Amino acid sequence: MHTAEVTDSGARRPAAVTVHIDELLADPSHAVRVVAEAESGSRSLTLLDPIRLGADPDLDVVALRLLTEATAGQVDLHWDLAGEPPWPLRTVVHLHPPAGAANAAGRRFAARWGERFRFGLCTYRRGPGFLALRDIRPDGARLRTVADGRWATAFETLLSTPTCPTGDAAAGRLLDELLTAGLALRLGAGRHVVLPFRLRRWPIPYSAV
């Protein structure tokens, strides 16, 4: 859905992209599409429903995917929390912060998130045959590492599916290591989310990351 935006001077801005949570739950791949649509047209993206993180694994998967993609694309995202998530702030602080929340606890969490967020805190970059991961989120150990060969393949597998494939020993081992390092989040019903977002282009100035 698109909504027209008009400036005080009467000039028309590119239409905003809007999406409901139910649309994302009905088709998880829709999160990637709406972010790409907003990014390609330099439009803002608005989630029309507050998000309650940590209560529903299916919702967590699509919501965190949308936040990850929007952060990677540096999309102007507008969204609210429904309440305080059950996770430490460090888990999500590298993702685009909410504007507010539906209750006082959520608003306090959102305010801290906004204060501590900056672009590039927890990322991965693709190279020829390898992945470079960096985690400089506050309140935890800093990490820089490179995955290549089967470990790069396993990382891509974990990115592509919220359930670790049965029988994929490398993916299973890597998921355990990512969970221990705080680079993945285990959800209910056997689901997981890989937390770093892809650093697709350097911001200007590049020293920002």
Residues 86 and 130 in one domain: no
**Mean pLDDT of successive 10-residue segments in the chain (209 residues)?**
49 78 93 94 94 96 97 96 98 98 98 98 95 96 95 96 94 97 94 96 56
19 within some domain: yes
Residue 160: CB partners within 8 Å, gap ≥ 6?
A: none
Q: In terms of residue numbers, what domain contains 26?
A: 2-117
Number of domains the chain is built from = 2
209 within some domain: no
Instruction: Tell me the Ramachandran region of residue 164: left when phi exceeds 0, alpha when psi lies from -120 to 50, beta otherwise.
Output: beta
Q: How far apart are CA 70 and CA 112, in angstroms?
A: 20
91 within some domain: yes
Residues 135 and 77 in one domain: no
Residues 65 and 140 in one domain: no
Whole-model pTM?
0.89
207 within some domain: no
Looking at residue 189, what is its pLDDT? Answer: 85
Looking at residue 135, what is its pLDDT? Answer: 98
